[in-house]
Amino acid sequence: MIQFRALRLARGAKVLVDEATVQIHPGWKVGLTGANGCGKSSLFALLRGQLHPDRGDCELPPGWVIAHVAQETPALERSALDYVLDGDAELRRIETDLAEAEAAHAGERIGELHGRLQEIDGYSAPARAATLLDGLGFAPGDAERSVADFSGGWRMRLNLAQALMCRSDLLLLDEPTNHLDLDAVIWLEQWLRDYRGTLLLISHDRVFLDAVVGHIAHVEQQRLTLYSGGYSEFERQRAERLAQQQALFDKQQRERAHLQKYVDRFRAKATKARQAQSRIKALERMELISAAHVDTPFSFAFRPAPAAPDPLITLDEVAVGYEDKTVLADVRLTLRPGERVGLLGRNGAGKSTLIKLLAGQLAPRAGRRSDGKGLAIGYFAQHQLETLRPDESPLQHLMRVDPGAREQDLRNYLGGFDFRGEKDGVASGASVSTPCGPFSGGEKSRLALALMIWQQPNLLLLDEPTNHLDLEMRHALTLALQDFDGAMVLVSHDRALLAATCDRFVLVDGGRVQPFDGDLDDYRDWLSAQRAQAMAAAACPTRSADKAQRKAEREQATAERKAALAARRPLLKEAEQLEKKLAAWQGEKDLLDTRLADPGLYADPDSALLQDLLKRQAQLVADMEVAELRWLEVHELLETMEAPSGG
C-alpha cells in the first residue's frame, strides 16, 4: 500500500502538506482534490520520486510500476501506434531482446522470450493500442500517422494513451479530461472503472470523479484528509464537518467573549486581580479553532442582458465548412430568447464548426442565415485565450472593453473572478494589476470569461468553457449560467454543467444537425451503440456492406411508402371529415324526424316553427346526399392508388 506518515511537503518556504498520515490500499481509486496551488501535483511528483519529504515518510511497495501522462511530446516521426506501444516498457524490452536472440540464433532464449510475451499478452498489444486510440477519439487512419503530424491537444491524447498502455500498478492522472470531448470522457470513465491497479486522479469534473473513484483525498489548509465515497459523498461529509467546526468555533467565541469581558471589567481591581489573571491564562491556553472557510473565492453574475429579438438567429438549409470541405449541410436551426441548448456529438462531428457559424466566424456556403435586430453575442473558445495581451493586466483589459466605467466597479467585478488587489503595494499572483502573460491556463480562462460576461450578451456561445477551471470556479460558472436571462449554446465535456444549465440538446452527427430526444444517459447509450456498430463493421466489412445495402433499400422503401402516404393523406383526411359530418347530420335529422312525427306539433300549429323545421330537414337531406356522393368518389380514388405495403 501507499503510506504517508507524519508527512511534511514544502516547495521553497511554502508548506503544502503537514502532518499527513494516510494509507491508500492496492486497487483503490482515489480522487485528489483541493484548491489550485495546494500541492496536488507536488504529491504526484513525490510519488514519482521527483521530490522528497521535508519530514515524515512516503512509502510505496517495492517494484511497483508507476504510469503517468507526460506533459511534453516531441515531434517524432514514429507512428502514433508505435508511440502508444512505447508505454509498455517491458514489451519493448522483450521485442529488442527477441530481435537480438534471433540474430544470434539463440533458440532457448527465443523460447523464453516468446513465453514471457505470451504471459504479458504481448501478441495482442497492437490491437489494445489501437483500441485506446479509437476510444480517445482518433480516426481509423490516425494510427499510422507520425506523432509530428498531430496538434498539441492531440499529442496530449497520445500521451494519455501511452500511459494507459502501461501495465502499471499505480496510475497517476492529472486532469486527464482537459483535452477530451464528451464521448472520449465517457469512454475513459469506463476504462478507468475496469482498471485493476491503484489510481490517483486529479480532476475538476465532479461527474467523472463520482463515476470512477471510491475515495477522495482532500488537501485543505496544509492538511490531507481521506474520505470514503465519490465526490458527492465527500461534499456531504465535508459540509457536515465544517458545520460542526463552525458550531464549535461559535461556542468558543462566546466563551472567549465572556472571559474577556470579566478580564476587562476586573483587571484593575485589586480584590479581583487574581481571578482576572486566571482567566487571562485560560484565554491563552484555549486552543483556537479555525472558522470554517466554506465561501468560494469566486462570486459573479451576468449583468442584465439587453432586450433580445425573437428569433435571435435563424439558419435555413445552411452549409458550412473549411476550404474545399463541407462539414455540415442542410442545417435548420432557430434560436429563441432564453433557450439553453447543449450540443452533443462525437469528436470531429462539427460541434465547434457550428459554434463558429453561429458566432459569425464562418460564413454559410449555402442557405440563409438571419440575425435578429439587437443580437449581442458573447463567444468563448479556448483559442481566444491567445488574443489576450500578455503585457496587460486584467484591469487594463477590462478598461479597454469599457473605458467609461468606474475603476472601482471594474476592480470589484474582477474580484469575483479571484483577481484581487495588491498586498502592501505588491501584486501577488494573478492579481487585478498583474500582466497576464505568466498566468496559468485557468487564470487566462477566468479572465476571458470575465471580459465576455461584462459586455452583456443576450446570446452566449460557449465552446468548452471549463477547460483548466477548478471545481470552485466551475460551480460558480454553473450558478451564474443558471441565473443568466439570455440564450445559450454550450459545447462541454463537463456533464454536471450540461445537465444543470441546458434545457434541450442538439445532436451533430454525420454532417447533420438534429434535435436529440433524450438526456445525457441516453446520449451515453447512443455512443455505445455507435461504437458497437463501428466495431462490427470493422470485424466483418462484407457483412457491413450488405447491411448498409439492406439499410439503403429499407430507407428507399420507407421513402416510397411515405410518398404514397403523402399522396393518400389528403383524401383520407377528407373521407374522415365527411364521415364525421354525415354522422352529425344524421343525428340531427333523426331528432328532426322524431319531432316532425309528433302529432302535437300539428294540433297547435306554429307555422313559423314548422316551416323552419321542415326547411332544416330538407337542407340536411340535400347536404347528406352531396356528402355521400363525395365520400364515394374519394374512396374510388383511394382504391385506384396502390396501398403502401409492409405497414
In CATH, what number is assigned to the domain containing residue 587?
Answer: 1.10.287.380
Q: Vertex 187, ends 181 and 189: CA angle to 5°?
A: 100
**Do residues 71 and 23 make contact, with C-beta atoms less than 8 angstroms apart?**
no
Q: Of 134, 126, 188, whose CA–CA distance to 534 is shortest?
A: 134
Rounded to an integer, what distance in angstroms lies between the CA atom of residue 149 and that of residue 158?
12
What pLDDT shows up at residue 296? 63
Give CA 498 to chain center in angstroms. 6
What pLDDT shows up at residue 195? 95
**Percent over 70 (pLDDT), the chain:** 89
What pLDDT shows up at residue 256? 75
Query: What is the pTM (predicted TM-score) of this model?
Result: 0.70
Beta strands in 427-469 (DSSP E): 459-463
531 vs 578, more confident: 578
List pLDDT tens digits, range 334-381.
999 989 999 999 888 899 999 999 999 999 999 999 999 999 999 998
pLDDT bucket at 61, cuts 50 / 70 / 90: very high
> Can you give the residue range of the structural domain that contains 613?
568-641
Half-sphere exposure of residue 508: CA atoms within 13 angstroms, side-chain side: 25
Looking at residue 644, the DSSP 8-state letter turns out to be: P
Strand partners, 201: 31, 173
What pLDDT shows up at residue 357? 95
Asked if residue 610 is part of any domain, the answer here is yes
Which residue in this structure is represented by grid cell 374522415?
576
**Do residues 77 and 146 make contact, with C-beta atoms less than 8 angstroms apart?**
yes
Asked if residue 373 is part of any domain, the answer here is yes
What pLDDT shows up at residue 79? 92
Please determine, for residue 632, whether its predicted confidence score (pLDDT) is greater than 90: no
Please determine, for residue 291, whether its predicted confidence score (pLDDT) is greater than 70: no
What pLDDT shows up at residue 277? 66
What pLDDT shows up at residue 24? 94
Q: Span 256-275, mean pLDDT?
A: 68
Cell of 484: 443568466
The verdict on 319 and 396 lying in the same domain is yes
Show which of 168, 197, 223 is a domain's final residue. 168
Looking at residue 307, the DSSP 8-state letter turns out to be: P
Please state the three-class secondary structure of 495-520 as a single string: HHHHHHHCCEEEEEECCEEEEECCCH
What pLDDT shows up at residue 542? 56
The verdict on 102 and 147 lying in the same domain is yes
What pLDDT shows up at residue 426? 41
Q: Of 306, 312, 339, 310, whose CA–CA distance to 481 is shortest?
A: 339
Please determine, for residue 290, whether its predicted confidence score (pLDDT) is greater than 80: no
Q: Of 28, 32, 31, 27, whose CA–CA distance to 17 is shortest?
A: 32
What pLDDT shows up at residue 467? 84
The verdict on 523 and 572 lying in the same domain is no
Cell of 457: 450578451
pLDDT bucket at 547, cuts 50 / 70 / 90: low
Q: Span 537-561, mean pLDDT?
A: 66
Please state the three-class secondary structure of 321-334 as a single string: EECCEEEEEEEEEE
Asked if residue 61 is part of any domain, the answer here is no
According to the per-residue pLDDT averaged within each range, which of 134-143, 354-363, 633-642 is highest? 354-363
The verdict on 322 and 255 lying in the same domain is no
Cell of 525: 447509450
Please determine, for residue 265, whether its predicted confidence score (pLDDT) is greater than 80: no
Asked if residue 173 is part of any domain, the answer here is no
Q: Span 218-239, mean pLDDT?
A: 89
Q: Span 411-434, mean pLDDT?
A: 72
What pLDDT shows up at residue 544? 54
What pLDDT shows up at residue 429? 55
**Do residues 357 and 315 make contact, with C-beta atoms less than 8 angstroms apart?**
yes
Rg (CA), the chain: 36
Q: Span 394-407, mean pLDDT?
A: 92
Cell of 41: 501535483
Asked if residue 259 is part of any domain, the answer here is yes
Strand partners, 58: 4
Please determine, for residue 600, whether its predicted confidence score (pLDDT) is greater than 80: no
The verdict on 274 and 325 lying in the same domain is no
Asked if residue 180 is part of any domain, the answer here is no
Cα 192 to Cα 33, 213, 324, 345, distances in angstroms: 18, 9, 40, 22
What pLDDT shows up at residue 267? 66
According to the per-residue pLDDT averaged within each range, which of 152-166, 425-439, 598-612 is highest? 152-166
3-state secondary structure of 354: helix
Cβ count within 10 A of residue 212: 24
Asked if residue 561 is part of any domain, the answer here is no
Half-sphere exposure of residue 71: CA atoms within 13 angstroms, side-chain side: 5
Q: Span 42-64, mean pLDDT?
A: 91
List pLDDT tens digits, range 437-452.
888 888 888 899 999 9
Amino acid (1-letter code) at residue 189: E
Cell of 581: 359530418
Q: Span 595-599, mean pLDDT?
A: 76
**Percent over 90 (pLDDT), the chain:** 39
Which residue in this structure is represented by grid cell 465544517?
242
pLDDT bucket at 646, cuts 50 / 70 / 90: very low
Please determine, for residue 31, whether its predicted confidence score (pLDDT) is greater than 90: yes
pLDDT bucket at 644, cuts 50 / 70 / 90: very low
The verdict on 600 and 483 lying in the same domain is no
**Do residues 169 and 46 make contact, with C-beta atoms less than 8 angstroms apart?**
no
pLDDT bucket at 199, cuts 50 / 70 / 90: very high
pLDDT bucket at 541, cuts 50 / 70 / 90: low
Please determine, for residue 56, whether its predicted confidence score (pLDDT) is greater than 80: yes
Q: Span 517-526, mean pLDDT?
A: 89
Q: Span 289-303, mean pLDDT?
A: 64
The verdict on 589 and 528 lying in the same domain is no
Looking at residue 313, the DSSP 8-state letter turns out to be: E
**Do residues 176 and 69 make contact, with C-beta atoms less than 8 angstroms apart?**
yes
The verdict on 276 and 374 lying in the same domain is no
What pLDDT shows up at residue 2? 92
CATH code of the domain containing 357: 3.40.50.300
In the chain, the number of structural domains is 4
The verdict on 163 and 103 lying in the same domain is yes
- The side-by-side arrangement of strands in the sheet containing 223-228 is 66-68, 170-174, 198-202, 29-34, 215-220, 223-228
Asked if residue 271 is part of any domain, the answer here is yes
Q: Span 555-564, mean pLDDT?
A: 68
What pLDDT shows up at residue 141? 86
List pLDDT tens digits, range 164-183.
999 999 999 999 998 888 99
In the chain, what is the greatest distance between 2 CA atoms, to the nearest angstrom? 130
Weakest-pLDDT range from 11-20, 65-74, 523-532, 587-596: 587-596
The verdict on 330 and 441 lying in the same domain is yes
The verdict on 346 and 442 lying in the same domain is yes
What pLDDT shows up at residue 578? 87
Q: Span 612-637, mean pLDDT?
A: 85
Please determine, for residue 294, whether its predicted confidence score (pLDDT) is greater than 70: no
The verdict on 261 and 393 lying in the same domain is no
Please determine, for residue 318, whether its predicted confidence score (pLDDT) is greater than 60: yes
| Cβ neighbours for 450, distance < 8 A, ≥ 6 positions apart | 300, 394, 398, 413, 414, 417, 419
List pLDDT tens digits, range 87-117.
999 999 999 999 999 998 888 898 999 999 8
Please determine, for residue 425, whether its predicted confidence score (pLDDT) is greater than 50: no
